Structure formats: C-alpha cells, structure tokens
Structure 1
Amino acid sequence: MSERTDPAEPSTLIVELEDGSELDDILELEATVLVDFYADWCGPCQLMEGTVEAVAEAVDAPVVKVDVDAFPQVAARFDVSSIPTFIGFTQSEPSDRLIGMQDEESVRQLVD
C-alpha cells in the first residue's frame, strides 16, 4: 500500500491499491472511505486527479484509488462499468456513487 500524505495536513491520506484485499482491510478499519475507480489511460480520470487530491485534503477519511485495469475483480465486485466512478462507503457498505466528471463539492459529499 503506498500512502501519500500532505505534510501541511497530517490527516490527508490517499491510498493507491496494490493488492486486491487491501480495500477490505481499509473498509473494516475506517468508518468512512472514498474509493476512486480510475485507469491511467482515462482522460476524465486524469482531469479528476486534482479534484480527488483536494477532496482528500478536505475530508477526514481515506481516499482509495483503484486502478480498474490492475484490479478488474474489485471493479466488478462493486459494479463499476464506467470510469471515473467514485463510491462513498460508510461502515464498510457503499452509501452512494458518482460516475463521470464531478465537481469537488459533489465528490466531497460522498464522505461528509
């Protein structure tokens, strides 16, 4: 699991999934989680990177990035067929989702 934290904001956490079972571990440990399903080749996903980073800095919840090419089984498990897809989890259960380009406030509301 690779973690990037902003030194100015210690609670900022972006986790790039490196193992299919990591997501389950994070969902069990955290009350609220935002999951960003993306692919490196996806133009809209690339455009959303700044928004995802801004949301990660603004919320008190980890943001997990799942590369759908590397982890198709994880994407299929959560019925992700279009990217970018953002899913907010509360108590390990999906609570809401957004598909496609979104503004920062909409993404943030998934975990606020």
Structure 2
Amino acid sequence: MSATFDPEQPPGRPVNLADGEELAAFVDTYEDVLVEFYTDGCGICASMEPVLGGVAREGVVVGMINPRNDPPLIDEYEIASVPTFVRFQDGEPADRIAEGFVPGEELQAFAQG
C-alpha cells in the first residue's frame, strides 16, 4: 500500500519514498517537488542528506528514492549516475542535475525553478 501525502501540509523534511508508486503519489500531491535518486553506499549521496534537509526546511518539498528498489525507475527517469536530482512541476519532470555534490544555495535555486 502506498503512503498518502497531504497537499495542505508540506513535510518540512526529506521524505524517503519506497517505490515508483509512492514517487508518483508524492509528485502528484505537491505542485513543485525536488527528488533525489540515490543509492546506498554512495558517499556523495550521503553527503547530500544534510543539504537536502536544509533545502526542505526552507520550504522545498523534497523526496528521496533509491531506484534500485524499483529498477524500472532507472530507465523511466534515465538515471545514469547518482545522485541525480529531478525537479517535478505539476507531477512531471521539468529539469535535472546529475553532477555530483550540489551546494545548498544552488540546489535551493534549482528546486525553485
């Protein structure tokens, strides 16, 4: 069963998403969403966690998903390296960054379009 999200109550912290179903529900709930595609054991991904927390505290809706838990996501979102950050607008991918570590201010500006 997929998690439910409240459009009136943005989470204020990064939300771990289990699979593609939860990802779809998450990006459909909020108008603008930043999603990090990561893998366990990725040092750069781990170093992004506090940055993502800061971005979420600034009002950006942030999700995190390991595409290895739902392999079709790798092809669907063209994940060739991690971390990959995808900005969703109105439930659809709008832009992406796949360049390794992204500083907080840069990620905040990217997330806000």
TM-score band by shorter chain is 0.7 to 0.9
Structure 2 CA distance for aligned equivalents of residues 94 and 14 of structure 1: 18
Partner residue, 1:14 = 14
Partner SS, residue 13 of structure 1: coil
Normalising by structure 1, we get a TM-score of 0.82
Judge conservation of contact 1:33–1:111 (CA < 8 Å) in 2.
yes
Partner residue, 1:44 = 44
Is it true that 1:90 corresponds to 2:105 in the alignment?
no
Partner residue, 1:32 = 32
Superposition misfits of 4+ residues, deviation over 6 angstroms: none
Question: In the TM superposition, what whole-angstrom CA distance separates every residue of 1:79-111 from its partner, at most 9, and x where no partner exists?
Answer: 011000111111112111111111111211232
Structure 1 CA distance for aligned equivalents of residues 22 and 47 of structure 2: 25
Partner residue, 2:78 = 79
Paired residues, number: 105
Structure 1 CA distance for aligned equivalents of residues 73 and 66 of structure 2: 9
Q: Which runs of 5+ in 1 are unaligned?
A: 4-9
Normalising by structure 2, we get a TM-score of 0.82
Partner residue, 1:7 = none
C-alpha RMSD over aligned residues: 2.0
Identify, as 1 or 2, the structure richer in strand: 1
Identity %: 32
AA in 2 matched with 1:18: A
Identify, as 1 or 2, the structure richer in helix: 2
Structure 2 CA distance for aligned equivalents of residues 93 and 20 of structure 1: 13
Structure 2 CA distance for aligned equivalents of residues 66 and 75 of structure 1: 11
Judge conservation of contact 2:40–2:66 (CA < 8 Å) in 1.
yes
Relative to structure 1, the CA distance from residue 11 to residue 67 in structure 2 (aligned partners, 3 Å threshold; closer, same or farther) is closer
Judge conservation of contact 2:19–2:67 (CA < 8 Å) in 1.
no
